[in-house]
Amino acid sequence: MKIVFASGNSGKLREASEIFKGFEIISIKSYQDWIPPEENGSTFLQNSVVKAEAASRVVRDLPVLADDSGLVVPALGGAPGIMSARFSAEGTDEANRAKLLAMLKGVRDRSAYFACSAVMIFPDGSVIAERGVCPGRIIDEQRGGNGFGYDPVFVPDGFSETLAELPEEVKNSLSHRGTAFGKLISKISRSN
Amino acid sequence: MKIVFASGNSGKLREASEIFKGFEIISIKSYQDWIPPEENGSTFLQNSVVKAEAASRVVRDLPVLADDSGLVVPALGGAPGIMSARFSAEGTDEANRAKLLAMLKGVRDRSAYFACSAVMIFPDGSVIAERGVCPGRIIDEQRGGNGFGYDPVFVPDGFSETLAELPEEVKNSLSHRGTAFGKLISKISRSN
């Protein structure tokens, strides 16, 4: 089964291909008339739907997969949340992490969680979406070279390594995106 | 199975109860802390998700059902579309129909379709959505006392009566909302 993944992010594409074993994950970038939509929703689910719909308008004949995910830090009132990828003015992973660590300087409560909404739209307009959450805490240094985004500053509950230090298979088995994608896979497998 | 329907519209509530036979449909109005959200999406699906999420935040322990639907008139560039309920300044059914008939005065192509996106969010965050479409045409008079919205000016393909002249069971069997709700029902029935 072929699935078009509605993301221009190469890190996410690699993760999706790893998790959706047995499926052929195609990048939306191979569709030349695809334009990344404005992510103007106010929740992860809404933004994942915006991305999936934008992709399904150009794909038409294959199911599309999209996700929206981010880091939620209760001590920061839920920030960066849906703004995770656009948290700093620069919008790079490095600048986003630096801003987060600066804001958490001296803050006692380091608890945080990653949340992901993953959605699939099928050619007949049918939609399924699932949510995944990965609880943990923010440390005050950056560790590890795997992963991307906030992975190097996030230690998931039950581990001492950051998400960027864990092997990909381990990360995918516990991560927010891995959980949401896994739920989608079990849903489409059941219905086939 | 109890389902909370995220709409303050009594016509839609009646339709939903009629279609979801064997389910107990509860009005979101029985939840005092529910506030109708701003429908700021740009598609029926996005707006149905906005409504369902707003409801699921106050309901929590039961599945919620929401829909967004409207009339699409190709000769009017797709209008009223997602603005169907807010088409005229007054925003009443009567004023909306009057504005539509005025805009279509002298227009040859009277083809139109109703579209509906219906979504359910379950307490675990799982989401399913389905789409329904009812093709037909806009006549230049108003006929029938059943139904609501644009029903009295819409004649579905294969009929000579307007949706407001057809008995409720017939309307629900062919309408956009009936189709979308029916697909949801078959999906939740299969997964139980």
The interface predicted TM-score of the complex, written ipTM, equals 0.90
pLDDT tens profile B116-131: 999 999 999 999 999 9
d(CA B50, CA B2): 21
Instruction: Assign residue B75 the CATH number of its domain.
Output: 3.90.950.10
Nearest chain B alpha carbon to A187: B191
pLDDT tens profile A59-95: 989 999 999 999 999 999 999 999 999 999 999 999 9
B52 — pLDDT class (breaks 50, 70, 90): very high
Token pair 């008139």 is at which residue?
B73
DSSP state of A29: G
Distances (CA, A) of B109 to B50, B133, B176: 33, 19, 21
Contacts of B125 in chain A (CB under 8 A): 130-131
CA dihedral A21, A26, A28, A31 (to 10 degrees): -170
pLDDT tens profile A123-161: 999 999 999 999 999 999 999 998 789 999 999 999 999
d(CA A47, CA B139): 38
User: Which residues touch A123 (CB under 8 Å, ≥6 apart)?
Assistant: A56, A60, A61, A62, A63
Q: What is the mean pLDDT of residues B158-174?
A: 93
Q: Which amino acid is at B138?
A: I
How many structural domains is chain B composed of?
Answer: 1
CA dihedral A153, A155, A161, A164 (to 10 degrees): -50
Pick A125's closest partner by Cβ from B50, B53, B131.
Answer: B131
| Residues of B carrying an active site annotation | 68
Token pair, residue B39, equals: 């429908």
pLDDT tens profile A20-37: 989 999 999 999 999 999
Reduced to 3 states, what is the DSSP secondary structure of residue A174? helix
Token pair, residue B82, equals: 């997602």
The pTM of the full predicted model, rounded to 2 decimals, is 0.92
Based on C-alpha coordinates, what's the Rg of chain A? 16
User: Which residues touch A59 (CB under 8 Å, ≥6 apart)?
Assistant: A4, A28, A31
d(CA B137, CA B191): 37
What is the distance in angstroms between the Cα of B128 and the nearest Cα belonging to chain A?
A: 5
pLDDT at position A10: 85
Which of A172, A168, A175, A138 is CA-nearest to residue A153?
Answer: A138
CA B93 to chain centre: 13
pLDDT at position A192: 56
Which of A171, A121, A119, A175 is CA-nearest to residue A146?
Answer: A171
- Residue B57 belongs to domain spanning: 2-191
Cβ contact B87:B98 at 8 Å: no
Contacts of B126 in chain A (CB under 8 A): 128-131, 183
Nearest chain B alpha carbon to A122: B130
A101 — pLDDT class (breaks 50, 70, 90): very high
Nearest chain A alpha carbon to B40: A41
Contacts of A78 in chain B (CB under 8 A): none
Mutate to test the interface with A, among B35, B47, B126 (most CBs of A within 10 A): B126
Distances (CA, A) of B115 to A109, A155, B72, B134: 47, 46, 7, 6
A107 — pLDDT class (breaks 50, 70, 90): very high
User: Which residues touch B166 (CB under 8 Å, ≥6 apart)?
Assistant: B144, B146, B147, B156, B159
d(CA B45, CA B130): 9
d(CA B47, CA B34): 16
